[in-house]
Structure formats: C-alpha cells, structure tokens
C-alpha cells in the first residue's frame, strides 16, 4: 500500500503573506437533515462538536465541523482518524437519511498567513473580508478565480483554504500570484 502524501508535498511561497500546502488533513462529508435532532445528536456524540450555524465553523482541539450547505457538513480531523470517524458516524447515522464519506484524499488545504492575508484573499473571492464582516468562526464556500473553494480563519491573520486536489497546483499558483510583493493594494490599511 502506498503512503498518503499531501497534494503539493509542503510547497510554500513567501510574499505579502506566507502561502503553504497545509499537509494531510482528514475530511469527512456528512449529508442529511441538519435540523433533525437525531442527526445532530449522532454527530455530536461521535465528534464532540455541536452543529455549526449557516456559514460557520465550530472547533474543539484538532477537529472542525464546517457548514457547507443546508444539508451538508464537512468534518476536518487529523488524517489518521478519518477512516475511524467515517465508520463511527455511518454507524451512528444508520437508519437515517444520511450520507457519510471520507473525502480526505480528494481535497487539498492551503494556509495563507500574514498581516495582509485579508488583502490577498479579497483579490480572489467575492466575499467581504473586512474584519467586522468576516471574523473567526465564519466559513465560506465560493469560487476563487476559476475554481470551487472554501475557507475560514484560524486566527486574525491566518486563513485555511480547501479545494479539490485536482486543482491544487492552480490554487497554489493563484494564491502565490495574489501574494506577490509587487501586488500590494493596502485596502485594509495593513
């Protein structure tokens, strides 16, 4: 059996911000009726996390639960825990109209870190990145240039960006171009 590796195996770029391949991340997609108490109870029992509200992410330790759509959540966890969590959640949700799938190997995660992170992200996505409009706990699923992406803040100067693994090189190049030192806009005054 081959060993799992991240999409770009640690690629990084230093410019207005640091852009780097965030490494392997476990990801489990959960689909079902998010308003159903049984669904919420099962997910919380297996993850220790309450369901996030619309366009939110909740976290505890090294696990995050992200709102993807009115009937979909994304659980992010250490890569080595994804299979066990997928099995446990599938068992807990048995008998309900739900889908649980380990999608870890189909996604890539990038970290965008630095005082100009909001500026770099604002060049690429149709989202209001002002601190009062996009704070820690906010989550967006949208497009960045030509590809589907999702992102959230881990702290005031660090975003994590999720995309399909098949477009990882494109996303890395896109983020790196937006972080080019000669492309500063200084819109947020940083």
Structure tokens at 47: 């993850």
Integer Cα distance of 178 and 144 in angstroms: 11
pLDDT tens figures, 35-52 = 999 999 999 999 999 999
Integer Cα distance of 79 and 24 in angstroms: 6
Average pLDDT taken over every residue of the chain: 93
pLDDT tens figures, 4-14 = 777 788 889 99
Q: pLDDT band at residue 1, thresholds of 50, 70 and 90?
A: very low
Structure tokens at 65: 């639960």
Q: pLDDT band at residue 185, thresholds of 50, 70 and 90?
A: confident
pLDDT tens figures, 128-178 = 999 999 999 999 999 999 999 999 999 999 999 999 999 999 999 999 999
pLDDT of residue 10: 82
Integer Cα distance of 4 and 16 in angstroms: 31
pLDDT tens figures, 51-89 = 999 999 999 999 999 999 999 999 999 999 999 999 999
Least reliable range by pLDDT among 68-72, 96-100, 141-145, 183-187? 183-187
Q: Does the pTM of the predicted model rise above 0.85?
A: yes
Q: What are phi and psi of 116, to 5 degrees?
A: -105, 20
Helix pair 37-47, 82-92: axis angle to 10 deg = 150
Q: Which domains does the chain have, with CATH numbers?
A: 12-23+106-180 (3.30.1360.120), 26-104 (3.30.70.1520)
| Whole-number CA gyration radius for the chain | 17
pLDDT of residue 7: 72
Integer Cα distance of 110 and 168 in angstroms: 9
Mean per-residue pLDDT, 9-36: 94
């Amino acid at each position: 059996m081959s060993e799992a590796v991240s999409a770009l195996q640690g690629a990084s770029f230093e410019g207005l911000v640091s852009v780097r391949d965030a490494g392997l991340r476990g990801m489990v997609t959960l689909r079902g009726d998010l308003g159903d108490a049984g669904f919420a109870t099962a997910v919380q029992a297996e993850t220790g996390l309450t369901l996030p509200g619309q366009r939110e992410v909740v976290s505890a330790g090294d696990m995050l639960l992200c709102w993807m759509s009115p009937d979909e959540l994304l659980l992010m966890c250490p890569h080595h825990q994804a299979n066990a969590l997928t099995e446990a959640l599938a068992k807990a949700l048995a008998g309900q109209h739900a889908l649980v799938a380990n999608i870890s190997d189909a996604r890539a995660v990038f970290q965008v870190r630095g005082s100009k992170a909001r500026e770099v992200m604002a060049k690429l996505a149709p989202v209001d990145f002002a601190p009062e409009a996009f704070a820690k706990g906010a989550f967006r699923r949208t497009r960045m240039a030509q590809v589907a992406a999702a992102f959230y803040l881990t702290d005031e100067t660090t975003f994590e960006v999720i995309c399909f693994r098949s477009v990882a090189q494109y996303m890395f190049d896109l983020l790196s171009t937006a972080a080019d030192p000669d492309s500063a806009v200084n819109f947020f005054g940083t």
